[in-house]
A = this chain, B = another copy of it.
Amino acid sequence: MAVRKEKNTVDTADKQQRILQAARTEFAEKGFDGARVDRIAERAQANKQLIYYYFTNKDVLFTRVLEDAYRDIRKHEAALSLDACPANEAILKLVEFTWHYYLQNPEFIRLLNSENQLKARHLKASMSTVEINQSWLSITQDLLARGSREGTVRGNIDAMQLNINISALGFFYLINQSTLGILYQTDLSQKAALDERLRVMKECIAAWIKP
């Protein structure tokens, strides 16, 4: 009996996770409006009703997916060891990390995009998001402060602007890959193109933060 119960609990958590995973994929691929609850159920190999049982409705589910996505990037970001090198180099490491995270988690930027299309209506209702993302700002703040002390980074740089710059240079490239690829008639997803983009991004940030 106990075994059963345990097994059940495990299964339950597992199924919830499977639904969340399926939802992330679907939402990222189609956007909130384009996503289909049926398809999420199918992907998760779960009964559709189960989704409602666990997550109440499509909006709540999306919110959960979004929160988890933020949590994940912040977790990995916080795990970087940026103290070992000078602040300017650490910032470039952050550029690299951001870029690679976007590449390896393409859902992340797509989810954000969809949420912004909806004017952040899910985030507005989410209690935890601000909290989750607090480290994003504090990391760069610390880095900028240290860089300034070290003399490796220009003094009057705003942490939010730095964060935005780092994200922007990678995010825009990746999110608009489809249209840019057509306009420039090249495949922007090829390794060479991606490497070159990272080089440019680091070059750009490096020039900007140089004292």
Interface of A toward B, CB cutoff 8 Å: 30-31, 33-34, 110, 112-120, 123-124, 129-130, 133, 136-137, 158, 160-161, 164-165, 167-169, 171-173, 175-185, 196-197, 200, 203-204, 207-208, 210
Q: A31-B33, A158-B200, A175-B113 are in contact. Are A129 and B183 (CB under 8 A)?
A: yes
State whether B168 touches A171 (Cβ < 8 A).
yes
Q: Is the CB of A182 within 8 A of B124?
A: yes
Provide the residues of chain B in CB contact with A210, threshold 8 Å. 207
Copies in the complex: 4
The answer to whether A116 and B31 have CB atoms under 8 Å apart is: no
Chain B residue at smallest Cβ distance from A121: B178
Contact B169 A184 (CB under 8 A): no
A165 CB contacts on chain B under 8 angstroms: 169, 200, 204
Partner of A181 from B30, B120, B137, B204 at Cβ < 8 Å: B120
Chain B's closest residue to A184 (CB) is B160
Residues of B within 8 A of A114 (CB): 117
In-complex Cβ contact of A197 among B136, B161, B169 (8 A): B161
Most buried by B among A30, A200, A210: A200
Chain B residues with CB under 8 A of A178: 115-116, 119-120, 123
What is the CB-to-nearest-CB distance from A211 to chain B, in angstroms, rounded to a whole number?
11
